[in-house]
Structure 1
């Protein structure tokens, strides 16, 4: 049977594995998910600004650059910009009027913001767990501040 002094290095290794393999990985995943949410919000807000500017300019033709794929862009002119296609998720696009698009963007950004806030709370929880494990490691190894 292992004595108390022999069991401490085993506990240290288990805590370090938990810290490095699980907690830090979880924190990284949560950070990437939250960043993706913020990026999506940014794209919807850019679209909102474009729509609002178009409402001021009237219905004159719209010039835009269109991504053809692999970062190849082409100049495009939209003769009738009264309708717009908006990605609603899962690769589906819906044709909206400007007012409908603005209402959708508002609801969508609110939902994504709520998701980002939940992820931020989860990240804080994981950070607290990391701090707890680090304090436990310090105590097991007899280290001081």
Structure 2
């Protein structure tokens, strides 16, 4: 009887401290990937709009200075843009180069998203397996889902 109680405690600890924490981290990573994909898709759409209707006199826009404080800005030359390529580096690219970069980046982000989804499904399966094992040890049947 004491051995069963120790097994139950080990399984509960593994479930709550390891598996659920791993799942939380993977889901946070996946949410960050969704945000990155959305921002890159929005940038791609903006560049496509700029290509469809060329601007001769410059582009009037609003820039977020932080904390939702916006100012009016005039961009005289929209033929080149700066893109954050990672690690704090920004590269000046033409609009066509930027579209090529964004397409490649979206491919990478979507591959990472797919991998993250597989990881979360695997962890959820492990959680279900441990819950069923706990249920058998306790004689209950099933536990709450994650």
Q: Quick check: 2:30–2:116 contact (8 Å CA) kept in 1? A: yes
5+ residue gaps in structure 2?
none
Q: Partners of 1:45 and 1:62 in 2: how far apart? A: 20
Matching residue of 1:34: 30
Q: Indicate yes or no: 2:18 matched with 1:22.
A: yes
* Equivalent in 21, 38, 43 of residue 39 of structure 2: 43
Q: Quick check: 2:132–2:141 contact (8 Å CA) kept in 1? A: no
Q: Partners of 1:38 and 1:8 in 2: how far apart? A: 43
RMSD of aligned C-alpha atoms? 1.0
Aligned positions of 1:1-145 closer than 5 A = 5-60=1-56, 61-144=58-141
Q: TM-score, normalised by structure 1?
A: 0.93
Paired residue total: 141
Q: TM-score, normalised by structure 2?
A: 0.93
Per-residue deviation, 1:59: 2.7
Q: Quick check: 1:59–1:82 contact (8 Å CA) kept in 2? A: no
Per-residue deviation, 1:50: 0.5
